[in-house]
Amino acid sequence: MSHPLHPALVHFPIASWSLATAADLLGLVIGAPAWQFAGLLHAIGTVSALVAMAAGFADLLALPPEHPALRDAQRHLLWVSLAWSAYAASLLLRLDGLSLRTPDAWALAFSVAGFAALAVAGWLGGRLVYEHGLRVRR
């Protein structure tokens, strides 16, 4: 078994998106500086997630159809896709050409929804490792 790439890559989008949502909420208090930082983090998370998702999808395709973890893996994929979609929508709503504008209520709502979906996806990812033992050397 080769070293799993997906677990090593997920830290970038998780950290970027979590901090982006925190910065968005902080922006409600301090305004533009936090929202500019949040926009940058949204972009980093959205791009880095594509690489992590590709590695995870390769791991999913390697699972045999009868594997007991398959259902959790598919649910993990669904929730990660929802998180990516929400964060990408939040990013797109704050883009003004190549610059970032102050997010509106929809952009902030998508950021919070993305964080909620990310939390569910992370919980399912934890199940894949700690309950099913996927990609764990025995």
**To which residue do tokens 């390769």 refer?**
58
pLDDT digits (tens, 9 = 90+) for 15-74: 999 999 999 999 999 998 999 999 999 999 999 999 999 999 998 998 899 999 999 999
Residue 13 lies in a domain: yes
Residue 138 lies in a domain: no
Residue 66 lies in a domain: yes
What average pLDDT does the segment 70-84 reach?
Answer: 96
Residue 42 lies in a domain: yes
Q: What percent of the chain has pLDDT over 90?
A: 75
Report residue 64 as tokens: 């045999």
Q: How many domains does the chain have?
A: 1
The full DSSP string for 37-88 is HHHHHHHHHHHHHHHHHHHHHHHHHHS-TT-TTHHHHHHHHHHHHHHHHHHH
Residue 137 lies in a domain: no
- Model confidence at 76: pLDDT above 60: yes
Residue 90 lies in a domain: yes
Please give the pLDDT value at position 137. 65
Q: What is the mean pLDDT of the chain?
A: 93
Enclosing domain of residue 15: 6-131
